[in-house]
Structure 1
Amino acid sequence: MKENLTKPRILNLDQLDLGLSLTRDEYQIQMKELKDKIRELTYLAKTKDTPVLIVFEGWDAAGKGGAIRRLTSEIDPRLFEVHNISAPNQEEIQHHYLWRFWNRIPKIGQIGIFDRSYYGRVLVERVERFAKDFEWERAYEEIFLFEEQLQSFGTIIIKFWLHISSEEQLKRFEERKNDPLRRWKLTEEDWRNRDKWHLYEDAANEMFQKTDTPKAPWHLVPANDKYHARVMVLDVVKRRLEKELE
């Protein structure tokens, strides 16, 4: 189940095994161990004045929010901040698209978590034509340089894509639509984006190939099973922090 960080990682969504799963008992045992270790490692990052940036991308309803909540549940709330990224506001749209992310990068000893991120430039802005071709095409190099500067400052960068099948997404959409307490999560835009599934998939695969680097690699998470996805996210964070800090 756990991702082997020493072997070549999968960087194409078609190659992921979406059948991976965990039982509830396996999930609870592994989560307890991982949360305890991550709590220790985040304190270590604090003592070493090391910033940590964790980026979450993926399909609508893939479970990004749930994974973030489990990741942060045992971390000292003084040490992290979650940024839910939506469309830029009127002030932000007057600046270079990275400006609003520079204003949110974590300070030394802190953890910044992006629920969606600057990668929107080569995903939604590309597919929905919010950015011109030359703008999103040059963004690969701009993002590379952006992350390189963060790394030079000492920032640990961990990037996730949570992947589910189109059928699983439809199932989750229908569950949200029929649940009065969760209906607010579902928008007309979510339904429209399903019609462009293959365009988003192509954009994501190109993004992985062009922005995966040794110090800021992508981790593609099979997320049809939420237990498996959450454990894999925490396991990758634990191992990356161990590698960089210890």
Structure 2
Amino acid sequence: MSAKPRSKPRLADADMSRKIGKAAYLKKLAALQRRMAQIQHAYLRGGASGVIVFEGWDAAGKGGTIRRLSAALDPRSFKVWPIGAPRNYYIQRHYLLRFMERLPPAGAISAFDRSWYGRVLVERVEGLTPEHRWQAAYREINEFERLLIDDGVRVVKLFFHVTPEEQLARFEERLRNPMKRWKLTYEDFRNRDRWDDYAAAIDEMFARTSTKAAPWHLVPANDKKSARLDAIGHIADRLGKGVDLASEKPHDGVLDAAEKYLDLDDDLVASLRGRTE
């Protein structure tokens, strides 16, 4: 019997009522951060690589989730790429070029704070790209992600969804908070006038680019804490699937030197050498 096809996400299907208390949140977040650190170490050992795509409404909580994720990882093999409007050099070239240049090397993970999906979202809605080009982008993006996956790169795609009312409340919070005020722009308010257009573009993006190999994960984000756990948990599941997370054993040379210079328990050394007798 064939497996049931994976359903495509839709904004209307998101459960926006989910919440979690602070104590439970902190406990689960700490466990997820430890797991992400283990995954990163396994990638460094085995040479795997991963790409995480963060998309979502303005003020939906992408940045806060990225900060909690970054806190768990060594920045030497974890890179966050904030993506804004392309400069002239990239405008004159294929839109995927600047993302290809930022793909992770073997053993590393890259996160894109907005991504190549701008082609079928903001560029579509704001009329920045001719229709025949953003229509072609669905196929181009699927092929691009297939190339990455065939090359051994794991791809995780997240969309953070908030209601218009929650977004407006967060805009006000940013306006009142001097430490967050820099995040708020005129464009944030102007984009609200095109909410329905963006919602239609988002649902079509899900329908046409949520594939079996690179599915979209919709994150209900009215509650920031539950959204962070949902997102990081999904990242850990996707990046950690089938990966050996056991701690690496030191090389014999390291243990020989450690025995010479450190006062170590014999049982510890034996266990690190893999001896169980």
Could you say whether these structures have the same fold, taking a TM-score greater than 0.5 normalized by the shorter chain as the test? yes
1:37 corresponds to 2:35: yes
Amino acid corresponding to residue 49 of structure 1 in structure 2: G
Q: Partner of 1:78: helix, strand, or coil?
A: coil
Q: CA deviation at 1:60?
A: 0.2
* 2:58 equivalent in structure 1: 60
Query: Residue in 1 aligned with 2:71?
Result: 73
Q: What residue number does 1:144 align with?
A: 142
Alignment of 1:148-163 (within 5 A): 148-163=146-161
Q: Which residue of 2 aligns with 1:188?
A: 186
- What TM-score, normalized to structure 2? 0.85
**1:139-195 superposed Cα distances (whole Å, 9 cap, x missing partner):** 000001110111111000000000000000000001111222211111011110000
Q: How does 1:160-179 map to 2 (within 5 A)?
A: 160-179=158-177
Q: 1:148 to 1:8 in 2, by over 3 A?
A: closer
Corresponding position: 1:25 with 2:23: yes
Residue deviations 1:197-235 (CA, integer Å, cap 9, x gap): 010010000001100111211100000000000001111
Q: TM-score, normalised by structure 1?
A: 0.95
C-alpha contact (below 8 Å) 1:156/1:244 kept by paired residues? no
Contact 1:176 1:182 survives alignment (8 Å):
yes
Question: Within 2, Cα distance between the matches of 1:185 and 1:134?
Answer: 33
**What is the alpha-carbon root mean square deviation over aligned residues?**
1.3
Question: What is the rounded CA distance, in whole Å, between the counterparts of 1:206 and 1:9 in structure 2?
Answer: 13
Amino acid corresponding to residue 101 of structure 2 in structure 1: N
- SS state of the match for residue 88, structure 1? coil
Taking every aligned residue pair, what percent have the same amino acid on both sides?
A: 46
Q: What amino acid maps onto 2:159 in structure 1?
A: W
Q: Which residue identity does 1:47 align to in structure 2?
A: R
Say yes or no: does 1:98 pair with 2:96: yes
Equivalent position SS for 1:228: helix
Residue identity matched to 1:228: S
Deviates more, 1:232-241 or 1:126-135: 232-241
1:160 maps to a residue whose letter is L
- For 1:54 and 1:178, the matched residues in 2 are separated by 31
Deviation of 1:244 (Å): 4.3
User: What is the Cα deviation at residue 237 of structure 1?
Assistant: 1.3
Which of residues 213, 216, 226 is equivalent to 2:214?
216
> Who is 2:9 aligned against?
11
Q: Distance in 2 between matches of 1:23 and 1:104?
A: 37
Which has the greater radius of gyration? 2
Residues 1:237 and 2:247 are matched in the alignment: no
Please tell me whether the aligned partners of residues 8 and 210 of structure 2 are also in contact (alpha carbons under 8 angstroms): no
Contact 1:10 1:220 in 2 (8 A): no
Aligned partners of 1:149, 1:46: CA distance in 2, in Å? 22
For 1:129, the equivalent position in structure 2 comes to: 127
Structure 2 residue matching 1:114: 3-state secondary structure? strand
Partner of 1:3: none
Give the whole-Å Cα distance in 1 for the aligned partners of 2:5 and 2:228: 21
User: Could you tell me how far 1:241 is from its partner in structure 2?
Assistant: 2.1
Change over 3 Å in CA distance of 1:177–1:20 after alignment to 2? same
Offset at residue 242 of structure 1 (A): 2.4
Q: Confirm or deny: 8 A CA contact 1:63 1:223 kept in the other structure.
A: yes
Question: What stretches of structure 1 of length at least 5 have no aligned partner?
Answer: 1-5
State the secondary structure of the residue aligned to 1:22: coil
**CA distance in 2: counterparts of 1:9 and 1:64, whole angstroms:** 24
Task: Tell me the SS of whatever aligns to 1:91.
Answer: helix
Q: Distance in 1 between matches of 2:146 and 2:8?
A: 22
Cα pair 1:10 1:16 within 8 Å, conserved: no
